[in-house]
Structure 1
Amino acid sequence: MPKKSFQELIQAPGMPVLVDFYADWCGPCKTMAPIIEQVAKNHSGKVKVIKINVDHNQAVAQQYQIQGIPTLILFYQGRILWRQSGVVPAHQLNQIIAQQVANVA
């Protein structure tokens, strides 16, 4: 199966897509990693979670004007529902995602 492009992933019909823009050298990104994993488990089947390394995907990072990392963007069919930079506590992120998913369901 061919690898899907970033645009194909975020525009796919069905479920929202949470994108974690990060870098391996970024301390706050390392703090977010287990939170992102937990959120992916909590919203399994309702939200797709993908991680984009800004060092390896500079064109995508530029396209979405990623200035600081981590930056989280929740997409639904290519449209940005929510965006935030910096560390987001797990309970807050779960709440935001649940609310946004309910709005598009």
Structure 2
Amino acid sequence: MVALCELESLRLAHDLIRAGLRLSIVRSLTKIGTRSLRQWWKDIHGVRPSNGKLPETVLSFIKDKDSAAMVSAFGAFHNRLHGTTLSPENLLATWQEFQRICGPLDINAAYFAVRDI
């Protein structure tokens, strides 16, 4: 039988994959195996997940003044709501609310912004 905490991890992984968070980050946040995550990505997005090295810092996502402002605003928003705690639930909830208020933001940029704070 599946425990409730396992079901929550599965649901959270599904939501993070749907949002487009890189699989290695989803794996580290949810502790679900890569094989399952890769299949879910293909089922959700219709393509295989991208391979390659993750960015080292949030600076990889900053291309101009506007992107710098968005990433900075997200970091401040998350910090105001949750402090420096980076949990998958907090990240997803804050990212969804931020997008509703301010417009689209890559969830990977959001993750690295909070991680780097």
TM-score w.r.t. length of structure 2: 0.29
User: Scaled by the length of structure 1, what TM-score is found?
Assistant: 0.31
More strand by share: 1
Greater share of helix: 2
Higher relative contact order (CA 8 A, sep 6+): 1
Bigger Rg, structure 1 or 2: 2
